[in-house]
Amino acid sequence: MKRESKIVHTGDRKKPGNFIPVTTPIYTAASYFYDSMDQLDRVLGREEPGPCYARYDNPTTSALEELVAELEGAYAAFATSSGMSALHLALLAALIDRPRRVVAGSVIYGATSSMLMKIFEPFGVDTTFSDVQDLAAFEKCVTDVKPGAILIETITNPLMRVPAIDKIAEISKNAGAALIVDNTFATPLLVRPLELGANLVVHSATKYMAGHGDVLGGVLVTDEAHFNSIKTISRTLGPVMSPFEGYLTMRGMKTMGLRMERQCANACKVASWLATHPRVERVHFSGDPSHPDAATVQRLFPKNLYGAMLAFEIKDGGRKEIFETMERLKMIVRATSLGDVHTMALYPAIASHRDLAPKQRQRLGIGDNLLRISVGIEAPEDIIEDLDQALKS
């Protein structure tokens, strides 16, 4: 080979050797080389496992997919570029051979309702929002609408209500719809929706899975029935997670169990403290024994792992009081995300639920005095002290 060719080829395409890396490395290759054309043909035809092109498979993200599928008790998982792209993929797979109608929980992440209204609706997919806590009304809505997909969240964003996934799965099955559950707030360590009858489970891996505020990613977890549709849609559209994000998510997940235990325990302490604070009108926390869905939480969640997200309403407060309180925070980070090791505060009215009209927010119970906290792994005393000084001034 001439030097110009050597520059291109030397050092590449070696067999990994007789060693096994202890953790999965980052594979950045866009495509993969096989010894024979027959083998490449088998891999491309999915008769033999193996990566061939980065829009189809990647060994780094495949390792993450294997891990999440195992934790969720799923047939397979697909790592995606964001939580929203996982939701998008789930809806496409659910509706590809079903009626183009969706029934969604009335209080869900703002971008999810925006996607349904602003993207799916113009393409002819109608969405009806219904209160998942009123099961009789929800069932009637599903009977009337006859949807192709039902979309709910394990712990709703931002009011922390907990729908009875098992009962909704029955309703969904009877209606012939696919049940999609956004399990981001709970993680498979708290709830495994497929075991309760869901068909597709979505995660924003950006949150608890990666856990350190340095990843944007998602994972779509599926039963066997939807596997082929997702594979086809995903291979064609390419909403895949990058190998670097896959590596960071996999690395983050190794401590997810420890983090969740600590975060859930911290959240219980912070929620109980907030409940007694004179400036706090009401606390929304799935681990509260007097929570309106406490019976469902006791049935579906493991003991002492009730979630680490909470929200509270400031007495006689509004935008001004929330802004002042948030600006006084010293340790708790004011930022748009959740599930990280550090405690975070978010004002739903200007962030996660900004796209909803103010009247709609009020109607759903997302008041202008509502502040959402993602409780981190710090010492609980420090989280409480910071909230105390911010609320007191």
3-state secondary structure of 183: coil
Measured CA to CA, the distance from residue 209 to residue 100 in angstroms comes to 31
Nearest distance from C-beta of residue 84 to ligand PLP, angstroms: 4
**Residue 370 interacts with ligand PLP (CB under 6 A): yes or no:** no
- Cβ proximity of 148 and 179 under 8 Å: no
Query: Where would I find the H helices in the chain?
Result: 3-9, 37-44, 59-72, 83-95, 110-114, 135-145, 165-175, 187-190, 227-237, 243-253, 256-275, 294-300, 319-328, 358-364, 380-392
- Applying CB under 6 A, among 109, 247, 301, 306 the residue interacting with ligand PLP is 109
Q: Which pairs with CB-CB distance under 8 Å and at least 24 residues apart come from 8-16?
A: none
HSE, CB side, 13 Å, CA atoms: give it for residue 223: 15
Minimum CB separation of residue 184 from ligand PLP in Å reads 4
Instruction: Find the shortest distance in angstroms from Cβ 249 to ligand PLP.
Output: 11
Nearest to 309 by CA among 163, 162, 135, 116: 162
Contact characters 135-174, ligand PLP, x per CB under 6 A: ------------------x---x-----------------
Closest to ligand PLP by CB, 106 vs 380, is: 106
Q: Which is nearer to ligand PLP, 156 or 296 (CB)?
A: 156
Annotate each residue in 309-348 with x if it binds ligand PLP (CB under 6 A) or - if it does not, as one string.
----------------------------------------
Closest CA to 106 of 286, 296, 365, 364: 364
Q: Please, which residue, 172 or 184, has the CB nearer to ligand PLP?
A: 184
Q: Does 242 participate in binding ligand PLP (rule CB under 6 A)?
A: no
Interface stretch with ligand PLP, choices 37-45, 178-186, 236-244, 370-378 (CB under 6 A): 178-186
Q: Using the rule CB under 6 A, which residue among 56, 78, 83, 348 binds ligand PLP?
A: 83
Q: What is the SS3 assignment for 33?
A: coil
User: Tokens 């495949």 correspond to what residue?
Assistant: 62
Residue 218 in contact with ligand PLP, rule: CB under 6 A: yes
Binding-site ranges for ligand PLP (CB under 6 A): 82-84, 109, 111, 153, 157, 182, 184-185, 204, 206, 216, 218
